[in-house]
Structure formats: C-alpha cells, structure tokens
Amino acid sequence: MKISFAPVSAPRSGALAVGVLDGGKLGPAGLALDKRTRGALTRAIESSRFRGKPGETLSVLSPPGVPLSRIVLVGYGDPNKLDELRMQSAGGAVVGHLRQANESHVAAAIDAVKGTKLGTGDMAAQFAYGAKLAAYRFDKYRTREKKDDKPALEQLTVMCADVPRARQLYSNLEKVADGIYFTRDLVSEPANILYPETLAAQAKTLTELGVSVEVLDEKKLAKLGMGALLGVGQGSVRPPRLVVMQWKGAKGKDKRPIAFVGKGVTFDTGGISIKPSAGMEDMKWDMGGSAVVIGLMKALAGRKAPVNAVGVIGLVENMPSGAAQRPGDIVTSMSGQTIEVLNTDAEGRLVLADALWYCQDRFKPKAMVDLATLTGAIIIALGNEFAGLFSNDDDLAAKLLAAGKAAGEELWRLPLGDPYDKMLNTDAADVKNITGERGAGSITAAQFLKRFVNNTPWAHLDIAGVTWTKRDKPTVPKGGTAFGVRLLDRFVRDNYEG
C-alpha cells in the first residue's frame, strides 16, 4: 500500500476517514462532512453503538451529491489520552475496516485535537505508521487466490496541516516498518524454505544497508568450542550457523556496542525428546528471536541510527535421527562449562549459551539483550499479551519496561535468584539444561542463561507467547507479529543514541 501526505482538502473520490472523539464528538473535518451530508454522520452515530472509543470504526455510505464512496469514522477516545499508540491503532483500524471493502484509495483527514500533546504532523505520521503495519500480508504461496479475496486498498493519503513534519517523522517510522515486515516474512516462511543456511543468507542482505555481516559455519563453530550449539543441530542434515551483524553508526568516543542475541531454531521437533504431533507445524517460528534481531538491525541501519549495535544469532534445526543428541549426553559449551542434556527439547537455551558467551566475550557490549521463543511456561504465566523479562541489571530492566510500554509491546519482569540457580546443579556436569521439576520453568531457563553472560548487563526476553497471533489486532494482522522490533528500536532510540 502506497502512503502519501497532503494538505487538508475535500477528496473527490474514494473513501474518507475522519477521527471521532469519545462520546461520538466530531472534529472539524467530521462536522464539515456532516453539514455536506445533511446530518448523515450524526444520524449514523445516534442510531449505532459507535461512541468514538479508541480503534472503534463505523462506515457510512455517502449520500447522493457527495463525491465519495464512503466515510469511515474512527474513534480516538479521550483527547487527553490521545498518544502515538492510539493514533497508530486508528490508522490500523481504518485499514482493517476496509480490508474486505472494494476500496482502492482512502484519504484520512487529521484534525488538531485539544488536550493531546501531539501536533497534526505527529498525529498524521503515527496514523500512517499504524496503517502501514496493519496492511502487512504474507501471501507469496497463494497461487490460486481470487482477486475478490485480496485486499483492494492500494493507496492511503493522510491529510494534515503540517505536511513537512508528517513526512519527516514518517521517513524514520517507515524504516522501522520495513524491519517489522522483514521479520514477519521470515517468521512466516516454512521450514523447508527457511533453514540455517538460507536464514543466514537473508541476514546477508543487510549488507546493502551498510551492515557488516559474518556467517560462521560448523567448522568455525567447532574451532570456537561451541559444543552446546553444535549438539542441538547434529541430528539434522541442515548444518548450523552463527551470524554476526554489526551496524556502526555512533560518532562518539565510546565505541562499545549495544548487543542483541537471538535464538534461531528454524524448526523444532524436540529432537529425541520429540514433541506431540498436534501443533508441531507452529515450530517453524521457533526462530522468532533471530528474526527480530535481523529486523531490528534492518530498522537501525535503514534509519541510520547514530549507535553502534551488534546482532548475534545462533541458527540450528532440531531434528531426531541416528546422529541426534540424546537425553543424558554431556556437551562442553564455549565458556568451558559442561552441560548435561536431560531433555533435547530444551534446546534453545543451549544455542543461546554459546551465542551469549561469544557475544559478550568478543564485543564487550554496554548491555546485551537476548530474545527467544524459549518456554511454554511463559505462555502459562502471561498468556499472549506480555513477554517475559528477566535481567541481572535493574537499570537495564527499567529501560526495557519503559520502551515496551511506549512501543505497545509490553514486558513483565519475573525474578532470578540463587534458589532457582541451585535447581540447575547436577552431579554429572556443571549444569543441567532442565530442572526436572514442573514449577518455575521460564525462570530456571533464564537462570540457565545467566550462567553464560558473566558480568555484562543482560536481559532475556521470553517471547514464546507473543511471536505469533491467531487473531487480527489493530496494527498486527494474524500470523507473525515481529514483537520486539518496535520495542528494541524504541529502547535504542531513547537510551543509546547521542
């Protein structure tokens, strides 16, 4: 969908969207339209349950004499609470509302709203951003889809009083949206198409934006001593990879980067500890953490963020075979710590153990954040709304919580501590990969990772419950969500850009 900005005018065709405040209160654009339509908008509101709540929509077919196909009313809610997220939701709501309509073009009139801190340029840019995110569709494998089943919407014109400001802000937001689209594409790909080698090749495309990308093959990983990561992938015909992405945008004296590490299990059968067959197809997106890191690096490079950032992703396929890792095996990680593998389906932490150690050892980052679809236990605890946050640093955790709230991708912090760490002790090795107990599964998984970060300020985001959605949300169509790209882009922008 093409998005453009223009001064406020009266469109001569297509659909027109206007904002409505809480209680069904029309703004200037809505009042002007209501007058032109002889009160049609007022009558439509009064005869419906539409009250202008955030993201609420109501479509009114244009009466004779008005050169529009329809007017879409979209709720802004309380003007004192109208912020960036609500404007994004409004833009997404309009796109979602028109998804099944036969409309190729929609214009949106953005009025100034008394009570909000946002100017019309800011409101317009955020509206356009939300619309862009909502317009995403993964349809590359639909070869026989009928034209009538495809969205008809091709163009959005956002009209406001401050077009230069809107264009300036949106130019950066669009680059973040590009990273989100890329992440959603990767998460949506089937595992016969996307596996360690091909996912590494996708990361390589970031070189076009100025990102330095290194791909370490299994021989290099063995030389580095990454027995934990290699053990997970040894049952697959698809060899593992470790990918290192570097964006060098900072100009200050402190060249230490902020680092992001992603779990990239391109398909997870569970290995010898095989999963139940029901729902196993979902495990194509067990590489969601790595996809977020790739998308984030694309966003940072795309908007030329003034920061040094490193992305490290460990890529494996976890398969059962005669060569596969067995329960009871003991592997030696890059850190030198030995790990007793009691369950081969607790594989993501093994991949991250080596990736985290490599990252902190090579780059000495200011802080390190990992993302992983790590545990089903986090879904039991938090459902599909929040991601789990674990950290060894209160300041880092606070920054991530604030960024998540501002970006609409919220986190919930859970504890770490010695009692949980002791649950991972074993007589056979330095640490075991599961406790063997039912309780605190997400916590002990994070506690396991903590053993591989040394004293680096570190946070772990368990995104198992938020990487995929089975229902449409205002700015997130069902499918891959790219949860984490917006959050971490905001985290970097607010805390590490000079």
Catalytic residues: 275, 349
> What CA–CA distances, in Å, run from 268 to 85, 297, 448, 496?
34, 25, 20, 35
Classify residue 256 by its DSSP letter: P
Residue whose C-alpha is closest to residue 84's, from 408, 381, 399: 408
Question: Which strand (E) or helix (H) includes residue 359?
Answer: helix 348-363
Q: Are 5 and 163 in contact (CB under 8 A)?
A: yes
CA 195 to chain centre: 20
Q: Are 221 and 229 in contact (CB under 8 A)?
A: yes
End-to-end CA distance of the chain: 33
Q: What angle do CA 188, 372, 238 make, to 5 degrees?
A: 60
Q: Distance between CA 293 and CA 247 in Å, rounded?
A: 12
3-class state of residue 200 by DSSP: helix
User: How is residue 405 written in tokens?
Assistant: 């709230």
Residue found by looking up tokens 């795309």 in the block: 302
3-class state of residue 96 by DSSP: helix
Q: Are 259 and 245 in contact (CB under 8 A)?
A: no
User: How is residue 352 written in tokens?
Assistant: 């991250």
User: How is residue 145 written in tokens?
Assistant: 């889809």
Instruction: Give bridge partners of residue 135 from the DSSP assignment.
Output: none
Residue whose C-alpha is closest to residue 57's, from 125, 108, 112, 122: 108
User: How is residue 366 written in tokens?
Assistant: 């200011």
Q: At what angle do helices 288-302 and 485-495 cross, to 10 degrees?
A: 50
Beta carbons within 8 Å of 390's beta carbon, 6+ residues apart: 413, 414, 415, 416, 442, 443, 446, 449, 450, 459, 460, 462
Instruction: Give bridge partners of residue 413 from the DSSP assignment.
Output: 389
